[in-house]
Chain A
Amino acid sequence: MTTGPAVEVTGLTKVFEKGRRTVWQRLRREPDKRSKFVAVNGIDLRVERGEIFGVLGPNGAGKTTTLRMLATLLEPTSGEVRVLGIDVRKDPRQIRANLGAMLSGERSLYWKLTARENLEYFAALYHVPPKETTARIDAALVAVKLTDRADDYVERYSTGMRQRLALARALLPDPPLVILDEPTVGLDPQSARDLRDRVRELKRQGRTVLLTTHYMEEADQLCDRIAIIDHGEIVALDTPAALKRRIRAEEVVSLEIGMTGEDAPMLARLANSAVIARSERHNGTLAVTAHCASARDFVPAAFDAARSEGATIQHVEVVPVSLEDVFISLTGRALRE
């Protein structure tokens, strides 16, 4: 295995065609009228060895498509992809032999088999040498804390346990690189916290972890660096702290303003003392998210502005800057939208 970055991506693009082109249309050589959907649009990425790298973005942003191309499940339309120094087009099998991936979570297991039987089967698929199989399976079960339930059928597991078993399966080839797609989606808070601990342990073991998530807190807590992706493009890439510094605010203030008049004059007044990241009107309430240097200075100014416009401030909340605010400032939308 070569040294260098764990993942190196240049100009990666994936275009899907919408609809079908029938055999009849092909035989008649009719022009291809299918519309095209650009899922990933020329992204550049470099993941260093030993780091936890997060790809953060809303649903449909292109996160999973990117991961599937790195994992050789999907063929890129264009661009260069090297995983562990290997070109995905030239030797995909070699990449798969050194890659641990958890892409479809609990559904990817055989529920009528026990955890150990699942791992035995996948150990064979990963070409684990027979003499090492038992030790690898035991190590994987220990790593995800499932040893005591190893001989239970997977159908009797909770969702969190199945996710952990899927992670154990990804560890069977003893991979230097682990790819996780939304690893904590659908988990209760305790199970999610438990899985995040397992991911930190992977880093301590010297592995590189590349994960996608749409949970900002998860990305913030886990990742050394984060790429924020939207509409198939990377809109920012840096450490969580550096990303938060980008919006040039120390605090974020959420206001709910009861008012009957137009939004624009109110927003213009607020903009004199803060950056208005987001505003939304629901009947008689205007919800505003403002980025400011000091809430202590901004909040009284906001009350003055409301009084001048004949409005009343119904709710004020001051929170530290989060990655959600970074995403809003970069895209004008919330992650959940």
Chain B
Amino acid sequence: MNTGYLAGDLRALRAAGLMSLRQIRRYPTNLFGTIFWPVLLPAVWVLMGQAYSGGGDPEALNAFASRAGTTGIALFVFIGYLMYMWLSALLWGPGTALRQEQIRGSLEAVFLTPVSRLVPLFGPTLTNIVWIVADLFVMGLAAWLLFGVVLPLQGVVLAFAITLVGVPAMYAMGALFGAGVLRFGEIGPAVQFTRGVLSMLCGITFPIAMLPGWAQATAVAMPPTHIVDGMRNALLRSASPGDLVPTAAALIGLAIVFGALAVVVFRWLEASARRTGMLGRY
């Protein structure tokens, strides 16, 4: 890689993130969703879980713990939903960013510049990291205020660290869908289907021990499973940094696999779009 291009691309990545933040800031009502969705969505499931467990019946909680490794239903669900919201943002994010550019008519203008194609794909979604931190804060506050759960400081730090380790793998998954936009335009139904399947496979609201064996095996190959498991280990099971090394290693391995796949698929579909003229159509 040409180092001049690399330095320019990194500056462009920052500029793309900044541009996205500026545009979000011009629609301030969108920020309202950042406050109520991270509270409302998981709270419904926590209340349902508490009702199904007899409002704290020890026998029911032990049964839950035997599968989930914890009796903390509230935090278990809140962590799952944090993952769900991030998963949604990242599966939709890169694809939506490109799609919006395509519909607006600015995609060609961006592709006329010498910047790497990965910049318009990932740059606007860099702001997701800001949102995930905001969601983590709001959910922690809601879990404390609504359900009396106090997050351990070390657990929060480790959960954040696991989230950061999981970022490349998650962005690589998002890139796979983003690439689809270049060739096919609308990819909404594919994203919705995948998000639904991953929500079920990766243990968003229930432990994956509830899944059949083949589904559990598939779940292991999905980055969100490891991120959500690592966060639960850190926040619910008092895991030490050493305990989380296997999770981090799995995430790095999956990042390499998904990253390579994303690069190959993106290049292939971009070449196809340049051949068919799909860049300018929508």
Count of CB-CB pairs between chains A and B under 8 Å: 100
Cβ-based interface call for B19 (8 A): yes
Cβ-based interface call for A314 (8 A): no
Cβ-based interface call for B12 (8 A): yes
* Cα of A171 to Cα of B174 in the assembled complex, Å: 33
Query: Would you list which residues of chain B between 98 and 154 have a CB under 8 Å from chain A?
Result: 104-106, 108-115, 119
Cβ–Cβ contact A94 & B114, under 8 A: yes
Cβ–Cβ contact A68 & B106, under 8 A: no
Cβ–Cβ contact B279 & A73, under 8 A: yes
Query: Would you list which residues of chain A between 103 and 153 have a CB under 8 Å from chain B?
Result: 103-104, 107-110, 112-113, 117, 120-122, 124-127, 130
Cβ–Cβ contact B275 & A96, under 8 A: no
Which residues of chain A come closer than 8 Å to B29, judged between CB atoms? none
Cβ–Cβ contact A121 & B276, under 8 A: no
Cβ–Cβ contact B106 & A97, under 8 A: no
Which residues of chain B come closer than 8 Å to A246, judged between CB atoms? none
Contact with B along A70-82 (1 / 0, CB 8 A): 0111110000000
Cβ-based interface call for A169 (8 A): yes
Cβ-based interface call for B237 (8 A): no
CB distance from A188 to the nearest CB of B (A): 21
Which residues of chain A come closer than 8 Å to B19, judged between CB atoms? 110, 113, 117, 121
The answer to whether A96 and B113 touch (CB under 8 A), given A74-B277, A112-B26, A124-B14, is yes
Task: Considering the complex, give the chain A residue whose CB is closest to the CB of B19.
Answer: A121
Cβ–Cβ contact B108 & A103, under 8 A: yes
Query: Would you list which residues of chain B between 254 and 282 have a CB under 8 Å from chain A?
Result: 271, 274-277, 279-280
* Cα of A122 to Cα of B9 in the assembled complex, Å: 12
Q: Which of B11, B119, B271 has the most CB of A within 10 A?
A: B11
Cβ-based interface call for B36 (8 A): no
The answer to whether A127 and B115 touch (CB under 8 A), given A93-B5, A117-B19, is yes
Chain B count of residues within 8 A CB distance of the other chain:
34
Cβ–Cβ contact A108 & B271, under 8 A: no
Cβ-based interface call for B23 (8 A): yes
Cβ–Cβ contact A125 & B15, under 8 A: yes
Which residues of chain B come closer than 8 Å to A72, judged between CB atoms? 112, 274
Cβ–Cβ contact B109 & A127, under 8 A: no
Which residues of chain A come closer than 8 Å to B4, judged between CB atoms? 127
Task: Considering the complex, give the chain A residue whose CB is closest to the CB of B106.
Answer: A108
Cβ-based interface call for B46 (8 A): no
Cβ–Cβ contact B109 & A103, under 8 A: yes
Cβ–Cβ contact B277 & A110, under 8 A: no
Partner of B275, one of A75, A104, A110, A125: A75
Which residues of chain B come closer than 8 Å to A107, judged between CB atoms? 104-106
Task: Considering the complex, give the chain B residue whose CB is closest to the CB of A71.
Answer: B112
Cβ–Cβ contact A124 & B279, under 8 A: no
Task: Considering the complex, give the chain A residue whose CB is closest to the CB of B275.
Answer: A75
Which residues of chain A come closer than 8 Å to B113, judged between CB atoms? 96, 122, 125-127, 173
Which residues of chain A come closer than 8 Å to B244, judged between CB atoms? none
Which residues of chain B come closer than 8 Å to A16, judged between CB atoms? 276-277
Cβ–Cβ contact B22 & A113, under 8 A: yes
Cβ-based interface call for B8 (8 A): yes
Q: Which of B108, B113, B275 has the most CB of A within 10 A?
A: B113
Cβ–Cβ contact B112 & A96, under 8 A: yes
Query: Would you list which residues of chain A between 183 and 207 have a CB under 8 Å from chain B?
Result: none
Which residues of chain B come closer than 8 Å to A120, judged between CB atoms? 15
Cβ-based interface call for A101 (8 A): yes
Cβ-based interface call for A335 (8 A): no
Q: Which of A101, A108, A125, A130 has the most CB of B within 10 A?
A: A125
Which residues of chain B come closer than 8 Å to A169, judged between CB atoms? 109
> Considering the complex of A and B, which 6 residue pairs feature the smallest CB-CB distances, nearest first?
A107-B105, A127-B8, A124-B15, A108-B109, A125-B113, A97-B114
List 24 A–B pairs whose Cβ atoms lie within 8 Å, in order of A's numbering: A16-B277, A68-B277, A68-B280, A74-B275, A74-B277, A94-B114, A96-B113, A103-B112, A107-B106, A108-B108, A109-B109, A110-B19, A110-B106, A113-B22, A120-B15, A121-B16, A121-B18, A125-B16, A125-B113, A125-B115, A127-B4, A127-B9, A130-B11, A173-B113
